[in-house]
Amino acid sequence: MAFNIQDFITSQVASAVGSVDVPSNAKNQVLNGLTDSILGSLTQTATKAGGIDQLKGLLTGTTSAAASPITALATNMFSKNILSSLGLGAVTNSALTGLIPNIVGKLSGILKDQDGDGDVDFNDILITLGVGGKKSSGSSAAGSILGSAAKSILGSILGKK
């Protein structure tokens, strides 16, 4: 089964938020807001200059989540877009934003050399996410139109073909 980063983040968020006392009427907004902020920070980072190196550092574990600009961006997005409108109080807000480095940290090490060529590159990202790429045996990791489309889209974002 292919790795789904959104499902992974959603499950990590749900698990982490359980440790914070969030009013039931705000729980879904908090869960969705955390998930969207983390995914949004990954997406925004991927599309800016130097972003792929930042993502690679985070996902391979060479950059700690606490020191990553990706984590800082997610925290900023969550605070600005979600917490500012909920009025949960400083203690709860602090507890919730404090979860973000731990959640992002769970992504550390998910990206590895998947194709056996000795480095972590664009092809390894595709294989990890289950959207294409070739394993060293030459078989397609996804082997579908979806894989080709995703590779094309990611390639245009990342400047690769």
pLDDT digits (tens, 9 = 90+) for 90-104: 999 999 999 999 999
Question: In terms of pLDDT, which residue wins out, 34 or 116?
Answer: 34
- Given a cut of 60, is residue 126 above it in pLDDT? yes
Residue 157 to residue 159: CA distance in whole angstroms: 6
Specify the range with the lowest mean pLDDT, choosing from 49-63, 91-105, 121-135: 121-135
Can you give the residue ranges of every domain in the chain?
A: 5-105, 122-158
For residue 20, the SS3 value is coil
- Given a cut of 70, is residue 33 above it in pLDDT? yes
Specify the range with the lowest mean pLDDT, choosing from 12-16, 66-70, 144-148: 144-148
Task: Place 67 in a pLDDT band, splitting at 50, 70 and 90.
Answer: very high
Q: How far is CA 72 from CA 101, 118, 144, 161, in A?
A: 8, 31, 36, 30
What is the structure's pLDDT at 38?
93
Specify the range with the lowest mean pLDDT, choosing from 33-37, 80-84, 120-124, 148-152: 148-152
Nearest to 37 by CA among 108, 96, 94, 87: 96
The CA-CA-CA angle for residues 24, 25, 31, to 5°, reads 75
Residue 76 to residue 59: CA distance in whole angstroms: 20
Task: Place 83 in a pLDDT band, splitting at 50, 70 and 90.
Answer: very high
* Token code pair at residue 76: 């900023």
Q: Are 38 and 79 in contact (CB under 8 A)?
A: no
